[in-house]
């Protein structure tokens, strides 16, 4: 299946899927298939493999190949035309270019590329980073998450990156809706909200959709929330989001994706809630609060 992902397609609900591990901390492809198939059955609009929620810093090239092939198999079995996006961003431009090219060879419809972290590049350095990556030929989605990267993008920097040929939109995980409001006013390429507590506010401010880690669980409720908003039932959408908000807050009480994995394991979707260090399983106190969703 070949899907050509364009700017107009960046809308609705995209889910960065977890990467299940077995008790030996090896990739559990069977559990990954189950989760991907369930997400496709719930009619999501896009799937992100190897995102932050997928514990991307710990995933090897060979493991990514297994995960992507498994996602393709689940998509085929579900008979859906849903784009598969691969997280390829690093803090080294050459590595990011290489990983993005490899994702394209696997068949990824787009690459989710985070702003380079840790080495704190200048605004111009970040622009050049994305110019190099976009030159690979795989559609690129800019991922701005300053509380993880330690870098705050200026509005003009975002606009310049979004103007690059091959960059088709962005995932905005900034701590408020100011950026999406400004980009909407200026008529930019589409923005997906990646800050789960702001999903409804971001849609109201002009976001075309969301890329939500929380939607790994209670997926059909997130789909309903998005569909209500898109169909003009904004009051219904607001109510649905407010009902989801307590769950969203619990899922981020401890480092993502530990709470999500615990719930999916308890629900029997994945075989284990194991995480690779330095992430740890959820505490007993949070387990007790999450148990109301079982």
The annotated binding site for pyruvate is made up of 53
3-class SS shares of the chain: helix, strand, coil, % to 5: 50, 15, 35
Based on the residue annotation, tell me whether 61 is a catalytic residue of this protein. Answer: no
CA-CA distances (angstroms) from residue 114 to 131, 158, 255? 13, 12, 18
Q: Check if 143 is active-site.
A: yes
Nearest alpha carbon to residue 188 among 220, 153, 228? 153
For residues 54 and 18, is the Cβ–Cβ distance under 8 A? yes
Task: List residues forming the annotated binding site.
Answer: 53
Cα 205 from chain centroid (whole Å): 20
* The residue to which tokens 């509380």 are assigned: 147
- Are 126 and 116 in contact by the 8 Å Cβ rule? The answer is yes
Q: Among residues 14, 37, 99, 143, which one is catalytic?
A: 143
Select which of 14, 37, 99, 171 is catalytic: 171
Residues known to be catalytic: 143, 171
């Amino acid at each position: 299946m070949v899907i050509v992902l364009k700017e107009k397609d960046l809308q609705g609900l995209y889910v960065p899927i977890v990467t299940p591990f077995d008790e030996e901390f090896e990739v559990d492809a069977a559990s990954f298939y189950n989760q991907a198939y369930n997400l496709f059955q719930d009619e999501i609009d896009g799937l992100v493999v190897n995102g932050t929620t997928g514990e991307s810093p710990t995933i090897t090239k060979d493991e990514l190949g297994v995960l992507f092939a498994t996602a393709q198999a689940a998509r085929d079995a579900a008979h859906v035309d849903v784009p598969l996006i691969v997280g390829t961003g690093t803090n080294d431009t050459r590595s990011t270019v290489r990983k993005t090219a490899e994702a394209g060879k696997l068949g990824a419809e787009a690459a989710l590329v985070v702003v380079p972290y840790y080495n704190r590049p200048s605004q111009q350095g970040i622009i050049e980073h994305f110019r190099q990556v976009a030159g690979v030929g795989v559609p690129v989605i800019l991922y701005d998450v300053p509380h993880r990267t330690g870098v705050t993008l200026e509005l003009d920097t975002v606009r310049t990156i979004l103007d690059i040929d091959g960059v088709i939109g962005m995932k905005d995980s900034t701590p408020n809706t100011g950026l999406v409001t400004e980009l909407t006013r200026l008529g930019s390429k589409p923005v997906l909200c990646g800050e789960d507590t702001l999903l409804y506010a971001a849609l109201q401010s002009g976001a075309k959709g969301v890329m939500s880690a929380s939607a790994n669980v209670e997926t059909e409720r997130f789909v309903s929330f998005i569909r209500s908003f898109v169909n003009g039932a904004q009051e219904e959408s607001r109510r649905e989001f407010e009902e989801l908000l307590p769950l969203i807050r619990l899922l981020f009480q401890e480092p993502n994706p530990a709470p999500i994995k615990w719930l999916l394991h308890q629900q029997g979707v994945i075989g284990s809630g194991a995480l690779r260090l330095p992430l740890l399983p959820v505490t007993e106190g949070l387990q007790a609060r999450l148990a109301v969703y079982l």
